[in-house]
Structure formats: C-alpha cells, structure tokens
Amino acid sequence: MAKDTATFHSTRSQKPTFTAKQAIRQGIAEDGGLFVDDNLGSVRYDISNLPNKTYQEIAQDVLQILLPDYSKEELSDCIKLAYGDQWQDSAITPIKQLGSTKDYVMELFHGPTCAFKDVALQMLPQLMSRTQSQSENQSQSENQNQSEDGESQNNQKVMILTATSGDTGKAALAGFADVPGTSMITFYPEGKVSRVQELQMTTQTGENVRVCAVRGNFDDAQTGVKQIFTNSELTKNLKENENTSLSSANSINVGRLVPQVVYYFAAYKQLVERKAIKLGDEVEFCVPTGNFGDILAGYYAKMLGLPVKHLIVASNSNNVLFDFLVSGTYNRQRTFHHTVAPSMDILVSSNLERMLYYMCDKDTRLIQMLMNDLAQWGAFEIPEDLLAKIRNLFGCGWANENQIRDAINDCWNKYKYMIDPHTACGYFVMQHIPHDESVPRVLLSTASPYKFPRVVAQALSLQNVQDMNDFECMDALSKETNTKAPSMLRNLEKQTPRFTDVIDIAEMPDYVKEHSHNFAQI
C-alpha cells in the first residue's frame, strides 16, 4: 500500500498516523480524540460531473476521495451491498419541493429502519469488513511487527459499541446483524427514546447483537462508551482473551461519517436536474442537529468543493450548540430536557471537535486544551477570531416543544407534507432565520414521521390521541393524511422484544466483557 495513505490522526495529536481502514477499524483515537484527515480538501470533486449520475456513482466518486486506501473494486462492492434493494426509493435520498417555494426537503428515511442513519450504517459494516487485512491499531509508521502474530490479528473479531439517542442503534443493528467477524452492543437511555424506536432495537434479530438500556441520558451512555474505548486494561483483556478489538458505529467513527457526505452532492445534483439551480450556484442546508455528525458531513462536502453558502444548525430545547454559535462558549452544565425530538437530546456534541480542528487551522494543542476544559470544567471558550470564522459559514436556531408541534402542523397545512419532530426543528428554524431569498434551501429530513406517530398525531390535532397506543396513532395518521406507514414500523406491534437488560452506567465495562466472551463462542 502507498505510504502516503496513512494521513489520518487524532484531533488532539498529529502522531501516530493511520490509514482510513485502520481509523475505521479502531473507531476512536487512543487519546480520546477523533480521527481526521489532513488531506481533506486537497482533492476537490468536480461538480460538473454530477448531472445524470446515480446515487451509487456519486458515492463511488466521493468515497474514493475520502477513503483513499480502499480500492475502486472494494468501494464498488461496498456500494452495491449498501445501496440496493433494501431502499424504498431508487434515488436513495430524494428531494421534494415545498409548494412553489425555493425550499426543498431531502428525505433521508427510505432505508430499512426509516432514519437517516441508514445511509451510513448500511455502508459502515461493508467498510469495516474490508479492514480485517490490516492490523487494527498500528499506525503505518509503526507497522513493523508482522511476524507470528500476523495471522491472529488478521482474524481478529471486531465488537461494535454504540450509544444511541434513538435512531443510530437500530440502524447499526440492522447493518451489522450476522455480519461475519463482527459483534455489536447498543446502549440506549432507559425511557428516553420513543416506543417505536425502542421496539425497533429490542426486537432486532441476529446472533451477534445485543441491546441494553442504561439508567441515565444519552450523554451518560455516550461518555460510558468513550471511556470503554480508552480503558486500556479492558481493551487489552479483550484482545488477549477473546481475540476481539473494539470499534464504534457512532459518528465518532470516520467510516460512519463519510458516507453522509455523499447525499449533499446528491441533493445538489437533483436541484441542477430540476433546473432549480445552475452548476456553480450556491445552496443552503438546514440540518436538525444533535451530535453534529450530519451537519459536519455538509462541511466536509463544502471542503470537497460543493457550493454551500451556509449550513444552518437547528436544535431543540437542548440548545447548547445554538448558545455556542452565538457566544463562543460551549457549556454542557445545564438542564437536560427530554423532548419530543429525542434523537437530538444531546448536550455533548462529539463531532463539533472535528469542525473545530479544521476551522482552527489544525491546531491540535488548542483542541486538546478545549477538550480538557470540557472534561474538567464542563465548558470551554474559543477565541473571538475563530468564532467569527465559524459564523461565516454556520447559522443557528432552535425550537421549543410548542414550536416543534406548530411546525409539524404548519408544514402539513401549507404543503400537505408530513414531517417528524426532528425535521420540524429544522423547518421552524428555516422559516425564522434571515436568509438570501434567491438562494435555494434544503432541509434534511432525518426520520419518517411514522417513527413518532403520537407526537405527529397530536400536532395535527387528531382526535382521541391520548387514548391510542403508538400503532393506533400510525393508523389514524395514515387515514388522515392518505399516506401509508412503512411496513417495517407497522409490523413492530406483532413482535416480541428479545432484549430487556437494564444496567447502571458503571456496569457498562463488565457488560461488554461478559458479552464479548459470549460472542467469541459464536
């Protein structure tokens, strides 16, 4: 392999360096940082090639730039498996115009679990399965010990650990179920996901998967997973006793992040083909945001040459990102709100670290200092010039509970278009933030409204919602809107949960150790 493909390293240190395959397999850097590629932006995507290309062809082009050590043939195989018949729309991420406005919605929910996470998590298992020919933890510069241990390293299993606020868990489970050489544990906050989301996870099939509720919120679960990754004693034990390494399916894993870059180019291509824009015209994207991964993919797309004028962060009542973009101070020490948009109920937005790294001209010392402050004090503050640079690209807004419901109602009444509560955050912000009316805007719709049927039914003022269960709400919505609930959601009512474990955050390492042994016997 060419030496110059080892260009990935931690946001907090320039050394050691890794290839894309090694970074994907490891998931998170040993110092707790996230893997970044200093070559990002050095190769641009020629947007004149976009018209008439399929989603799969765009994915081939974009991923070849972002994951340079994967061969053309490897990526082609991954794409065929990730974006095939399991999708309900051949466009994969189609856009819909809102009335006769210059506002569009990109539907990211046509995959097998009806959430935007499918776009990445149908791809990540394919990328992961093609990393096993490389030693998972060694940087290329240190890769000198390929003697008698080589065979065992090549056959080493990967255990995927994921914390979910609702959608990632099911999408990851669906992607990794029964994939050879892998196992997976998903942790979710007890009582803080929708009933449909919980059933999607706890009824998952597959001998190599496990689902566990934890007492706490999403941030607690995500912190617990990160601590397991940096627990050297545990990771050593898993390697020596179970021949297992750990990785992540959260967007902290670069292999989960980069497939999302593709749909920004796909949206632009569709706008060109609709004659809504000409090649080279600027576009704005409004993104419901929690962990900052989805909108970060838009930033990556801009760095690859997509004409993006602004990226708009839309938050719910957990508006830590809004406050940060206004003031330059990120402070997670605040009341945690359980909202009707639970997948955005996050106070520690992990992928912000990657954006800060690129925006501060790749200053790993500054990133290390900021993340230390966040860990020690629960807050950090960035320099004014850095904030100004960020605000040139990123706008922001947020919606409270009533505004979310009003947005669902407004979008239906004006355009006869039904949106879920997370998309409604973006819709509300998009309607209220100042903008150049000559520039088309694309709202990323992150989940099917049928994943949150009770909230949507209430917002549309359907009768007797309080007396219905979630599946009765689905039926009522279907009748009211003359739309059909996805069968994979409607059929959950008939399924029995396989997983009922509930543990404390402190028990997560032991839980992983116990089930790694069980998985090793498969």
What is the rounded average pLDDT of the residues 184-207? 95
The residues, any chain, with a CB within 8 Å of residue 107's CB and separated by 6 or more, are: 89, 93, 94, 95, 96, 445
Question: What residue ranges do the domains of the chain occupy?
Answer: 95-113+257-494
Largest CA distance in the chain: 70
Rounded Cα–Cα distance for residues 190 and 102 (Å)? 41
What rounded mean pLDDT belongs to the chain?
93
Query: What was the pLDDT predicted at 446?
Result: 97
In angstroms, what CA-CA distances link 1 with 67, 153, 177? 13, 18, 30
Is the pLDDT reported for residue 2 higher than 50? no
| Overall average pLDDT of the 423-435 stretch | 97
Q: How confident is the model at residue 146 (pLDDT cuts 50, 70, 90)?
A: very low
pLDDT tops 90 at residue 103: yes
pLDDT tier for residue 154 given thresholds of 50, 70 and 90: low
Q: Which residues are CB-neighbours of 157 under 8 A, at least 6 positions away? A: 181, 182, 183, 242, 243, 244, 245, 519, 520
Backbone angles phi, psi at 312, to 5 degrees: -105, 120
Query: E strand or H helix at 317, and its extent?
Result: none
User: Mean pLDDT across the stretch 241-249?
Assistant: 91
Statement: residue 397 has pLDDT above 90: yes
**331 contacts 378 by C-beta, under 8 angstroms:** yes
pLDDT at 143: 41
Q: Does 374 score more than 80 pLDDT?
A: yes
Q: Are 64 and 171 in contact (CB under 8 A)?
A: no
Q: Which of 255, 321, 269, 276 is nearest to 21 (CA)?
A: 255
**95-113+257-494: what CATH class?**
alpha beta
Lowest average pLDDT, out of 35-49, 255-269, 508-522, goes to 508-522
Check the CA dihedral 418-399-311-192 and report its sign: negative
Q: How confident is the model at residue 321 (pLDDT cuts 50, 70, 90)?
A: very high
pLDDT at 422 over 80: yes
Q: Give dist(CA 329, CA 230) in Å, integer.
A: 27
Instruction: Report the SS3 class of residue 459.
Output: helix
**Has residue 147 got a pLDDT over 80?**
no
Query: Has residue 522 got a pLDDT over 80?
Result: no
Percent of the chain with pLDDT over 90: 89
Q: What is the pLDDT of residue 75?
A: 98
Strands (E) across 119-181 are located at 157-163
Between 390 and 242, the higher pLDDT residue: 390
